[in-house]
Chain A
């Protein structure tokens, strides 16, 4: 498989803050690659460098064999970037927005007609094509943003937190659309703060404080939690979770009314700490568990 993105020692600072500290990774053609991590981890900065709209201080990012600093315009011709705010013109209609980006990417007028028709159909926005973008719901805005990004059939798609504020049904549709594209050979790099989404990526890089602290397939990431995850139900989940983590030194988190415990701990430890007879089950855990585990253990370091 050919490499679409090659990042080596990428570093970027803003004033005294080091946003990205020498990260390196490769992304192959047809991959869905997720950059996940807490707020301020440097995900958006990394994405902007990859989109060739921000120059790194040190290191390099190569997209389709071209350097993001020296071949900005050539890269822009062949990739698409969807920023957090989708970049839609609120007073332009759905169709006008797509047409504008088609023109910006130099899509020939002849091809535009059929291409736009196809995109509208594909994103189920055909019946809304005369509606101003500002009057669309969050889910439709997101699909329109995607349609605008895809109008010039890019080879790489960069999505920066594309699902913020979008409801589960729209998110599901969005992912179905993405997978169709991937089947056609598109490469995708995305950032997200929602870990149920990260599970849908082929490979993940976990970023924290500007560094990549873990990487691998979602399965590999989950296996980074040593010894799996203990779960028990609680009426005071936050209280008992805090109790367990402070007494045993394990990492503990809450999902609804469930307490999850990870790290160097046994079932017996949990029982004695909680001080009541609880039904504990053990599972492999999820990427979200891994996220919490990695965040907490890195914070402690």
Chain B
């Protein structure tokens, strides 16, 4: 690889980006906009969630708790249950979207200032509503029995471990889509503008061409990640339980992965329009549906699970959630990093093979 040529391509590509307000907007403004839209859009207040109650305790303490629930804006009373099967029926019928189950020993435990547990059954089919219901319920219960340490067990959507899991996942999806889209234009544009024919008549090599093109978009990707993380921490108040270094390292690898996917798409597509649409489809759809961002992949059929394991976004979503929320950095993440690295190498190799610096076969 010739450093001078690599630098020349990187510099030229950077100038393209800096002089084109649209690409800068797409690269930086749109991710911010998406994060705000989805971040708030998906965590808007819920009101009047129909709530049924199965009060096995029947004490003053349990009635206090029920009153707090029904007096809150979030919930409205939707009936009373007397058995396990009734709680399931009422959710299935749609008459209630949540059931508050108070165990028989609740009153005694509160009276004795011992830790008590209530259960909230939530209809997980509307994951956003479910998430918010749990959040509100948590607030009410905490208020009611601070000293006794009432806790909530949720059902129907067990993977949903926390309210804020949406934001780290959202960062992953947005970075995934935007980065691939940015690079998807860069080769197709040269063909469309007629500059490619000139460029391939110079001694340029494939490595210089591909890596040089990645440089400015990598920089934009880094800016996106930084901005998104800052927003997550300070705007949405998501806690960062893991290390910043881990976050940076994982993002550094994933950016390369998704930028490479964009270059590969661009190499195969003849027009910028086709390239951008193609990159949107292959990054957004699987990223949204199969990465575990919205739907719990564990509940999917075996074949689909196998497919989810081939999608880079799956790993980034899970890695970001782990770093943000769990804060653990055990053996599992390194396996995920390994996959991302391997995936990137394969994509870049495919790009090298697919890229033709001549007109043969065109």
Contacts and interface: CB of A to CB of B under 8 A. Distances in A.
Whether A and B touch (Cβ < 8 Å) is answered with: yes
Interface of A: 48, 51-55, 72-73, 76-77, 79-92, 96, 99-101, 103-106, 132, 148
Contacts of B5: 103-104, 106
Interface string B168-201: 0000000000000000000000000111011111
A99 B357 CA distance: 21
Interface stretch (B12-20, B154-162, B251-259, B292-300): B12-20
B359 interface: yes
Contact of B194 (A51, A83, A96, A148): A83
Interface in B305-362: 357-360
Contact of A90 (B193, B197, B359): B193
Interface in B58-78: none
Nearest to B196: A87
A254 to B, nearest CB: 34
B8 interface: yes
B63 to A, nearest CB: 71
A35 to B, nearest CB: 17
B315 to A, nearest CB: 36
A103 B7 contact: yes
Given A72-B358, A103-B4, A104-B5, A52 B15 contact: no
Given A87-B194, A99-B8, 18 more contacts: A54-B360, A76-B202, A81-B201, A83-B201, A84-B194, A85-B193, A87-B197, A87-B198, A89-B193, A90-B193, A91-B19, A92-B15, A92-B16, A101-B202, A105-B202, A105-B203, A106-B2, A106-B203
By Cβ-Cβ distance, the 10 closest A-B pairs, closest first, are: A87-B198, A103-B8, A85-B194, A81-B201, A104-B202, A54-B359, A83-B197, A76-B203, A91-B19, A87-B195
A153 to B, nearest CB: 14
B204 interface: yes
Contacts of B198: 81-83, 85-88, 148
A204 to B, nearest CB: 24
A104 B195 contact: no
Q: Which of B11, B15, B200 is the most central at the interface, judged by chain A CB atoms within 10 Å of its CB?
A: B200
29 contacts: A48-B359, A52-B201, A53-B201, A53-B359, A54-B359, A72-B358, A73-B205, A77-B203, A80-B201, A82-B198, A83-B201, A85-B197, A86-B198, A87-B198, A87-B199, A89-B12, A89-B15, A89-B16, A90-B193, A91-B16, A96-B15, A100-B11, A104-B8, A104-B203, A105-B202, A105-B203, A106-B2, A106-B5, A132-B19
A92 B12 contact: yes
A201 B4 CA distance: 37
Contacts of A92: 12, 15-16
Nearest to B2: A106
Interface residues of B, number: 28
A100 B12 contact: yes
A99 B203 CA distance: 15
A146 to B, nearest CB: 12
Given A85-B197, A86-B198, A90-B193, A106 B4 contact: yes
Contacts of A55: 358, 360
Nearest to A158: B201
Nearest to A103: B8
A99 to B, nearest CB: 8
A52 B197 CA distance: 11
A227 B16 CA distance: 58
Nearest to A76: B203
B204 to A, nearest CB: 6
Contacts of A51: 201
Contact of A100 (B8, B193, B203, B359): B8
Contact of B358 (A54, A83, A99): A54
A4 B343 CA distance: 47
Contacts of B7: 103
Contacts of A48: 197, 359
Contacts of B12: 89, 92, 96, 100
A144 to B, nearest CB: 12
